[in-house]
Chains A and B, each alone.
Chain A
Amino acid sequence: MATAKASGPVLAALVRAGFRRFATYRQATVAGAFTNTVFGFVRCYVLLSLADAGGRVAGYDRAQLATFVFAGQGMIAVVNFWGPADFAERVRTGDIAADLLRPLDLMVGYLAADLGRACHAMLTRFVVPVLAGVLAFDFYLPEHAWTYPLYAVSLLLAVLVCGVCRYLVNLTAFWLLDIRGPRQVWVLASTVGCGLAFPLPLLPDAVAAALWLATPFPALMQAPLDVLVERGGTGHALVLIAGQLAWLAIVTGLARLVQRHALRRLVIQGG
């Protein structure tokens, strides 16, 4: 097994390939962006109806809620919770052996291609729902200019944490071959725990705190969105980003460990 240090040009080529692969599915991109936007309308109206009584919901004002919902709908495809299990499929069919011959670490290759996909989604799937939100609702734009780069960093971290988590789910294929079970658990837990189904501050404080501290899910969506709507100010945004970094370190360490065991197991099986 070769694990040579990945060089810059190789990684850049992988990112470009990931981008171009998704740029070919033009009709699917249009359809997906449209669907995300329609769901944005449903979610936004439901949340706004809660605000009518006091003008605010769980610390968000109406404009912040609209931004939260539509930026969140745009981020679904960027962060990509529900990505296909193509890596696990390669393990099942044995194509993974060819991947292992390449002078590039498996996980680095997976993440580089995923980053290219995320860039494509950012330029297409993110823009459409956000534009619809701006046109149809009173939309909150960040007060401070530095919120934009902070949001970009936070979004990048979300993409990486989600990529590593998905990779971990795919790694279970080395033991299970069919990953439908772990994948369903992951999709369910991440949808509810990340703030997509409802903003986490709507939950009782203890439940929300447990989600923030014990799971990586809020780092996937709730954290970048809170940075974007400037909930709690710049100081809070920096804390959120530090939390995302910590989660990236944790899940990456875990993924390295699991990958080492997985590959050892594969060698035994194939040898």
Chain B
Amino acid sequence: MVVAQVRGQTQYRASFVIDLVGSALFSLTDVLAVFVMFSVNGSLGGFGGREVLLMVGIAACAFPVADLAVGNVERLPFYVRTGLFDTVLVRPLSSLGQLLAMDFAPRRFGRAGQGVVIYLIALVAAPVDWHAWTAILAVLAPLAGAVFFGSLIVAGATVAFWWVESGEIAFAFTYGGKDFATYPVTVFGGFFRRFFAYGLGFAFVAYLPALAMLGRPDPLGVPAWLHWCSPLTALLAAALAGLFWRTGVRHYRSTGS
């Protein structure tokens, strides 16, 4: 199914190239925004440029990879509203797997590729405290971040089983969470920081793994062993999202027509 989608969408070459370039430029504006903010006084939340770049790199890698893998589940409201989801359930395959394959969007490779380039530059430029464990974390952190964002995107879309028009609410936590994860947690304050960083777990995407790789203590006092836990939180998030999805599918009652 995925191969058929890729082949179908690359038939219209000009539009495909426009989509590919457009999607790459979009994440470039995010990086540009961070750069402009940073240029004001040469630091962000008490972190220097190369340290912030590492956080930007992890987030810029994790989100597009998640979006590439599961982003098309955002079309679920369309399937629920039209009743097309029936055809998905009839087939003897996993319902989530089918949805992901049916609208696979190869244009998102543009953004993912660019995120990987930014992350590689960050790894070279940042003062990483290299040893075996940081090397493993350097590979696992963006993957864990991708799993985390992917779980969030799936969970957000699952809400459509109960509330079809919920689309944009999920954006607050997926795209909003990506923006949150791009900056050091120290930038934020109050209840908002506690809720997004630890309640929802966005600190585990880029900030805490970056601290672990840099060998820096957290200015806000999060114990050092937690800095290494982002793969575990990603697995937890994936398990919760899977459970939520299954509950949603069981709740689905078709359109009745």
> Are A and B genuine complex partners?
yes
Give A residues with C-beta under 8 Å from B: 25, 27-28, 31-32, 34-35, 37-39, 41-43, 45-50, 53-54, 57-58, 136, 178, 180-181, 184, 188, 191-192, 197-198, 202-203
B116 proximal to A (CB < 8 A)? no
Q: Which stretch of B38-46, B79-87, B120-128, B224-232 is in the interface?
A: B38-46
Closest CB of chain A to B236's CB: distance in Å? 23
Across the interface, A181 reaches (CB within 8 A) one of B18, B36, B192, namely: B18
Say yes or no: A31 contacts B32, CB within 8 Å. Answer: no
Say yes or no: B168 contacts A31, CB within 8 Å. Answer: yes
CA distance A230 to B81 in the complex (A): 47
Number of A-B contacts (CB under 8 A): 95
Question: Which single residue of chain B is at the shortest CB-CB distance from A198?
Answer: B36
Say yes or no: B169 contacts A58, CB within 8 Å. Answer: no
Across the interface, B176 reaches (CB within 8 A) one of A39, A54, A184, A203, namely: A39
Say yes or no: B26 contacts A32, CB within 8 Å. Answer: no
B49 proximal to A (CB < 8 A)? no
Closest CB of chain B to A151's CB: distance in Å? 25
Say yes or no: A197 contacts B32, CB within 8 Å. Answer: yes
The 6 closest A-B pairs by CB, nearest first: A31-B168, A27-B165, A38-B172, A184-B22, A35-B172, A49-B187
Residues of chain B contacted by A28 (CB below 8 angstroms) = 165, 167-168
Across the interface, B41 reaches (CB within 8 A) one of A32, A37, A53, namely: A53
Say yes or no: B36 contacts A35, CB within 8 Å. Answer: no
Say yes or no: A45 contacts B187, CB within 8 Å. Answer: yes
Question: Which single residue of chain B is at the shortest CB-CB distance from A185?
Answer: B22
12 further A-B contacts with Cβ under 8 Å, apart from A42-B176, A198-B33, are A27-B163, A35-B169, A38-B172, A42-B180, A43-B179, A46-B183, A57-B40, A58-B40, A180-B15, A184-B25, A198-B36, A202-B39
B166 proximal to A (CB < 8 A)? yes
Say yes or no: B165 contacts A31, CB within 8 Å. Answer: yes
Question: Given the interface contacts A31-B169, A34-B169, does A191 sit within 8 Å of B40 by beta carbon?
Answer: no
Chain B interfacial residues counted at CB < 8 A:
37
Say yes or no: A180 contacts B18, CB within 8 Å. Answer: yes
Question: Given the interface contacts A35-B172, A45-B187, does A50 sit within 8 Å of B40 by beta carbon?
Answer: yes
Question: Which single residue of chain A is at the shortest CB-CB distance from B173?
Answer: A38
CA distance A17 to B126 in the complex (A): 56
Closest CB of chain B to A249's CB: distance in Å? 29
Across the interface, A184 reaches (CB within 8 A) one of B18, B41, B163, B168, namely: B18
Residues of chain A contacted by B18 (CB below 8 angstroms) = 180-181, 184
Most chain A beta carbons < 10 A, residue from B44, B167, B168, B192: B168
Residues of chain B contacted by A42 (CB below 8 angstroms) = 176, 179-180, 183, 188
Closest CB of chain B to A75's CB: distance in Å? 17
Residues of chain A contacted by B193 (CB below 8 angstroms) = 45
CA distance A175 to B142 in the complex (A): 43
Question: Given the interface contacts A46-B187, A58-B40, does A38 sit within 8 Å of B176 by beta carbon?
Answer: yes
Residues of chain B contacted by A192 (CB below 8 angstroms) = 29, 32-33
Residues of chain B contacted by A27 (CB below 8 angstroms) = 163, 165-166
Across the interface, B168 reaches (CB within 8 A) one of A32, A53, A54, A58, namely: A32
Say yes or no: B41 contacts A50, CB within 8 Å. Answer: yes
Residues of chain B contacted by A202 (CB below 8 angstroms) = 36-37, 39-40
Say yes or no: B167 contacts A31, CB within 8 Å. Answer: yes
CA distance A25 to B168 in the complex (A): 13
Residues of chain B contacted by A32 (CB below 8 angstroms) = 168
Residues of chain A contacted by B218 (CB below 8 angstroms) = none
Question: Which single residue of chain B is at the shortest CB-CB distance from A197?
Answer: B33
B19 proximal to A (CB < 8 A)? yes
Across the interface, A34 reaches (CB within 8 A) one of B40, B44, B172, B192, namely: B172
CA distance A202 to B33 in the complex (A): 10
B244 proximal to A (CB < 8 A)? no
Most chain B beta carbons < 10 A, residue from A27, A45, A48, A191: A45
CA distance A41 to B202 in the complex (A): 15
Closest CB of chain A to B159's CB: distance in Å? 10
Say yes or no: B37 contacts A50, CB within 8 Å. Answer: yes
CA distance A49 to B188 in the complex (A): 8
Per-position contact with A for B172-191: 1 when CB-CB < 8 Å, else 0?
Answer: 11011001100100111110
